[in-house]
Copies of this chain bind each other. A is one copy, B any other.
């Protein structure tokens, strides 16, 4: 904590003014000097709350702010891990976003976000470069399975519009719990990652389809399902609004916890999404875009809960996919793996499985714990070929998942 303490003391010198060494986060609203990131990656926040008794920043944990003579609250928090982090402010018990930053949908609401910059060279793969650029398109389509209009985003590679005949393989890529179909192109920089990989000929040109993993059948209460599947933990927080750390949703404006939700998810979650994907999403994509047909040209991956959904969908439908990725989320890692029975026995015949799934990718941040590595080792012992990727020094956060995609995409469709 010595570095953090030093930063805290050092900030006394810059009280009420911008320290030129402290760079505004790239996610701030235009013109906002705070939050800013110091060279040692400590972060100074400033919030206006003239009549408040207590103001905190919640990033990793709760950090008390101090009110200055000008009525503005400030705090400098210890050095942070590089990458994208959700955070919130707490003003006299009210958990909300910091108006000085853009907001990002995570944990079921629009959190503030901060980007702790990496050295330019490390960040290059997810930054805009002078290479041909693809585009990310917002696409609305009607789902017969859910009885509702749905929105997905589709990355098309740089040469998609120029060549009117080329057909492309497709990666279906999912966000995580409490996020939505915008996560990958806003927090994830999917377009820059793919543009750069394609320009360097590391990855094949492909479409990336990013949908919302929430899906309920007609007549089901969508908000009820949301409370069960997506904001179950949020509703727990409703009961104890003062608790929780980073990304904890605020109380107020939520339903009550739903009986029957176990571990945050209803027992039947994921099935409706799989049905929707095969009945509505994939047919829409294959009807609308110039894509290559068949399982050899179809991959699915996701982060966290989206990784769990990808394993659920693909392992139950090996005739439809040849590539599978879980970024900080899969079907394993929680112990009790038995190749004969786990996942309905899909791993029982290793040779048959290896013939079907050409790449099975398991990515994780090194700070996230050993579960995924154990799962990878269990699979290897059972003869299941897989790729284990570990992002050094990152946790359950978007930088881990950007790195996962950057490692995963070049392995596809080859």
When distances are taken between beta carbons in the complex, the residues of chain B under 8 Å from A383 are: none
Please give the distance in Å from A100's CB to the nearest CB on chain B.
3
**Taking the complex as formed, is A320 at the interface, i.e. its CB lies under 8 A from any CB of chain B?**
no
Q: Which residues of B contact A128 (CB under 8 A)?
A: 140, 142, 149
Q: How far apart are the CA atoms of A55 and B28 in the complex, in Å? A: 25
Contacts of A51 in B (CB 8 A): 53-54, 92-93
A99 near B249 (CB under 8 angstroms)? yes
CB distance from A13 to the nearest CB of B (A): 19
> With A140-B191, A226-B30, A252-B34 given, is the CB distance from A99 to B95 under 8 Å?
yes
Given A31-B227, A109-B29, A140-B191, the answer on whether A49 and B92 have CB atoms closer than 8 Å is yes
- Taking a contact as CB atoms under 8 Å apart, the answer to whether A30 and B252 are in contact is no
Supposing A33-B255, A133-B140, A226-B30 touch, asked if A103 and B97 sit within 8 A by C-beta, the answer is yes
A292 at the interface (CB under 8 A from B): no
Q: This chain: how many copies in the complex?
A: 2
How distant is A255 from chain B, measured CB to nearest CB, in Å? 5
B-chain residues with CB within 8 Å of residue A100 when the two chains form the complex: 109, 250, 252-254
CA A327 to CA B31, docked complex, whole Å: 27
- Other-chain contact of A250, B28, B48, B95, B231 (Cβ < 8 Å): B48
For the complex, is A286 an interface residue (Cβ under 8 Å from B)?
no
Q: Is A270 an interface residue (CB 8 A)?
A: no
Residue A373 at the chain B interface, CB threshold 8 Å: no
Please state if A97 and B110 are interface contacts (CB–CB under 8 Å): yes
Give every chain B residue within 8 A of A30 (Cβ-Cβ). 108, 214, 222-223, 226, 230-231
- Total A residues in contact with B, Cβ cutoff 8 Å: 78
Whether A55 pairs with B288 at a CB distance below 8 angstroms is no
Closest Cβ–Cβ distance, residue A25 to chain B (whole Å): 10
Decide if A295 is an interface residue (CB 8 Å cutoff). Answer: no
- Taking a contact as CB atoms closer than 8 A, the residue among B31, B55, B92, B108 that contacts A223 in the complex is B31
Contacts of A46 in B (CB 8 A): 252-253
A89-119 vs B, CB cutoff 8 Å, 1 = contact: the mask equals: 1011111111111110100111000000000
A48 to B35: give the CA distance in the assembly, Å: 25
Residue-by-residue, is A192-234 near B (CB-CB < 8 Å gives 1, otherwise 0)? Answer: 1000000000000000000000100000001110110011001
Query: Inside 8 A of A53's CB, which chain B residues have their CB?
Result: 51, 53, 92
Bound complex: CA of A93 vs CA of B95, how far in Å?
A: 15
| B142 lies within 8 A of A135 (CB) | no
Within 8 A of B (CB), among A234-265: 234-235, 241-242, 249-255
Instruction: Name the residue of chain B whose CB is nearest to the CB of A162.
Output: B288
- Give every chain B residue within 8 A of A95 (Cβ-Cβ): 48, 99
In the assembled complex, A268 has its CB within 8 A of some CB on chain B: no
Q: List 22 A-B contacts (CB under 8 A).
A: A30-B230, A31-B223, A31-B227, A32-B223, A47-B253, A48-B250, A48-B252, A49-B92, A52-B52, A52-B94, A72-B251, A89-B96, A99-B253, A100-B252, A100-B253, A102-B110, A103-B103, A133-B140, A135-B138, A135-B154, A137-B138, A140-B191
- What 3 A-B pairs are tightest by C-beta distance, nearest first? A100-B253, A48-B252, A49-B94
Given A34-B252, A103-B110, 15 further pairs, Cβ under 8 A: A29-B253, A30-B230, A31-B108, A47-B252, A48-B95, A48-B241, A48-B251, A51-B93, A52-B93, A52-B94, A89-B94, A97-B99, A99-B250, A110-B110, A133-B140
